[in-house]
């Protein structure tokens, strides 16, 4: 069986389509935990779990004991569930090949390899792929996180605009577990089907709806000097919540994409959006920025951002604070 996607595996589990082994591995722990937790909570009922569900941790487990447990038959249930969390710490895991050559159909064995890719050349991988389900959980790229937030919110029965997805992604980073926790907290304060708004985010997550990198970007697009300065002054007064190392990558990505846009004018809008890896609704922002700055100025801005990134890291900077560096950079962006 080829490697499966997260949604495919979850759909099968919800439809009670089970397999003898689940090998879940990769750098992104969130998806591994989601699948493992679903199996933990939903395959057996509470009474069946008493005799038929075992959860162990790789560091504390003996591989031959696991094989013995996996070969047991369920008691008064159709399945027994054996979950090995932190399986990347299991010593001698290659010996699981002994079991995987002929796994019991009544056993559901889950091997959760978190923060680690599995070697696809091993017999363990090949047997798991042949006999059950293999899932590789890659870490999302930063530009994939807003779309993931949108999808996650809708799966929870709520709605959210892309602007709010962007703000959450930029301020919380690519830590999906942290983002999911914040979404769940907010969902407790609104009714089903409601929208997660910037006000709700400000009240629950602490991200200002008026003073954030998204609003700074909008001010730069419009060359609104007063608004940009207000935001930068707020950033300078609150450096922990508005680190220069969070702001600079966002600005760099935006102006770099705007520069790329200058080479794509002959394409259709949908093609341009695809190449820039943005939503079609965002394209107008980049077009406006291109008209405001021009190619030569964009090249200069991109270089300035790189220079200030180096200064923020202490190279060529004696004692200027993050706030002072941001003020200098924004001044240079807005003035020719």
Domain boundary at 205, 229, 252, which? 205
In a domain? residue 327: yes
Q: Specify the pLDDT at position 206.
A: 81
Last residue within a domain, chosen from 184, 205, 226 = 205
199 and 314 housed in the same domain: no
User: Mean of the pLDDT values across residues 113-138?
Assistant: 92
- On whether residue 292 sits in a domain, the answer given is yes
Beta-bridge partner residues of 116: 26
Question: What are 157-194's pLDDT values in tens digits?
Answer: 999 998 899 889 888 888 999 999 999 999 998 998 99
Question: Are 198 and 283 part of one and the same domain?
Answer: no
- Per-residue model confidence (pLDDT) at position 134: 96
Q: Crossing angle, helix 244-261 and helix 322-334, to 10 degrees?
A: 20
Burial class (CB in 10 A: 0-12, 13-18, 19+), 160: buried
For residues 228 and 328, the answer to whether their CB atoms sit within 8 Å is no
Helix (H) or strand (E) holding 20: none
Model confidence at 51: pLDDT above 90: yes
Residue 209: predicted pLDDT:
84
For residues 120 and 3, the answer to whether their CB atoms sit within 8 Å is: no
| Separation between Cα atoms, residue 252 and residue 259, nearest integer Å | 10
Confidence of residue 281 (pLDDT cuts 50, 70, 90): confident
Q: Is residue 280 a part of any domain in this protein?
A: yes
- pTM of the predicted model, to two decimals? 0.79
Q: What is the predicted pLDDT for the residue at 71?
A: 96
Relative to beta strand 195-196, strand 133-136 is: unpaired
User: Do residue 61 and residue 89 come from a single domain?
Assistant: yes
Q: Based on the domain organization, do 244 and 285 belong to the same domain?
A: yes
Find the mean pLDDT for residues 19-37.
Answer: 96
284-335 per-position pLDDT tens digit: 999 999 999 999 999 999 999 999 999 999 887 768 899 999 999 999 999 9
Question: What's the domain range around 97?
Answer: 6-137
Residue 38 lies in a domain: yes
Q: Is residue 243 part of a domain?
A: yes
CATH number at 196 reads 1.10.8.60
Residue-wise pLDDT for 63-78, tens only, equals: 999 999 999 999 999 9
In a domain, 25, yes or no: yes
Q: Give the sign of the dihedral formed by CA 312, CA 314, CA 316, CA 320.
A: positive
The per-residue pLDDT of the chain, averaged, comes to 92
Using a pLDDT cut of 70, give the percent of the chain over it: 100
The 10s digit of each residue's pLDDT in 214-263 is 899 999 999 999 999 999 999 999 888 888 998 999 999 999 999 999 99
Which pairs with CB-CB distance under 8 Å and at least 24 residues apart come from 299-306? 299/259, 301/255, 301/332, 301/333, 302/252, 302/255, 302/256, 302/259, 304/329, 304/332, 304/333, 305/248, 305/251, 305/252, 305/255, 305/329, 306/252
Would you call 161 helix, strand, or coil by DSSP? coil
Q: Mean per-residue pLDDT for 147-155?
A: 95
* Cβ(39)–Cβ(4) below 8 Å: no
Question: How far, in Å, CA of 305 to CA of 254, rounded?
Answer: 11
Q: Note whether 53 and 149 are same-domain residues.
A: no
Structural domain tally of the chain?
3
Strand 21-26 vs strand 107-114: parallel, antiparallel, or unpaired?
parallel
Residue 174 and residue 252 share a domain: no
**328 and 295 in a common domain:** yes
For the chain, how far is it from start to end, CA to CA, in angstroms?
59
Report d(CA 20, CA 18) in Å as an integer.
7
Max Cα distance, the chain (Å): 77
- Residue 2: per-residue pLDDT: 80
* Last residue in a domain, options 102, 137, 172: 137
297 and 261 together in one domain = yes
Section 186-213 average pLDDT: 89
Could you tell me if 20 and 82 lie in one domain?
A: yes
Residue 316 has what DSSP assignment? T
Instruction: Identify whether 64 is part of a domain.
Output: yes
pLDDT of residue 314: 86
Cβ neighbors of 199 (< 8 A, separation 6 or more) are: 209
To which H or E segment does residue 152 belong? helix 145-155
Q: Which residues contact 251 (CB under 8 A, 6 or more apart)?
A: 213, 216, 217, 220, 305
Give the CATH number of the domain where residue 289 resides: 1.20.272.10
Does 24 lie in the same domain as 128?
yes
Confidence of residue 204 (pLDDT cuts 50, 70, 90): confident
Do 119 and 156 reside in the same domain of the chain? Answer: no
Q: Are 175 and 289 members of one domain?
A: no
Which CATH number fits the domain that encloses residue 78? 3.40.50.300
Give the strand pairing for 107-114 and 195-196: unpaired
- Establish if 56 belongs to a structural domain: yes
């Amino acid at each position: 069986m080829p490697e499966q996607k997260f949604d495919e595996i979850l759909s099968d589990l919800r439809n009670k389509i089970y397999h003898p082994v689940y090998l879940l591995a990769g750098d992104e722990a969130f998806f591994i935990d989601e699948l493992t937790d679903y199996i933990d909570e939903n395959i057996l009922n509470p009474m069946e779990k008493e005799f038929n569900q075992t959860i162990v941790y790789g560091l504390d487990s003996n591989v031959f004991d696991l094989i013995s447990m996996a070969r047991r038959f369920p008691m008064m249930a159709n399945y027994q569930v054996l979950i090995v969390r932190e399986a990347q710490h299991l010593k001698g895991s290659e010996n699981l090949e002994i079991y995987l050559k002929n796994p019991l159909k009544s056993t559901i064995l889950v091997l959760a390899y978190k923060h680690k890719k599995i070697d696809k050349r091993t017999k363990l991988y090949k047997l798991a792929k042949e006999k059950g389900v293999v899932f590789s959980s890659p870490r999302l790229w930063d530009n994939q996180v807003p779309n993931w937030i949108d999808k996650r919110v809708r799966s929870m029965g709520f709605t959210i605009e892309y602007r709010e997805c962007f703000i959450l992604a930029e301020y919380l980073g690519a830590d999906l577990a942290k983002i999911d926790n914040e979404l769940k907290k907010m969902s407790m304060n609104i009714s089903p089907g409601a929208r997660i708004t910037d006000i709700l985010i400000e009240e629950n997550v602490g991200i200002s709806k008026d003073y954030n990198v998204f609003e700074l970007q909008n001010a730069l697009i419009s060359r609104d000097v007063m608004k940009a300065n207000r935001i930068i002054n707020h950033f300078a007064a609150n450096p922990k919540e508005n680190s220069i190392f969070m702001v600079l990558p966002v600005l760099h990505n935006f102006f770099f994409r705007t520069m790329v846009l200058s080479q794509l004018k002959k394409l259709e809008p949908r093609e341009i959006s695809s190449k820039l890896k943005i939503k079609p609704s965002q394209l107008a922002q980049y077009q406006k920025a291109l008209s405001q700055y021009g190619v030569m100025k964009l090249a200069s801005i991109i270089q300035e951002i790189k220079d200030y990134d180096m200064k923020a890291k202490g190279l060529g900077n004696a004692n200027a604070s993050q706030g002072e560096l941001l003020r200098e950079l924004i001044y240079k962006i807005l003035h020719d």
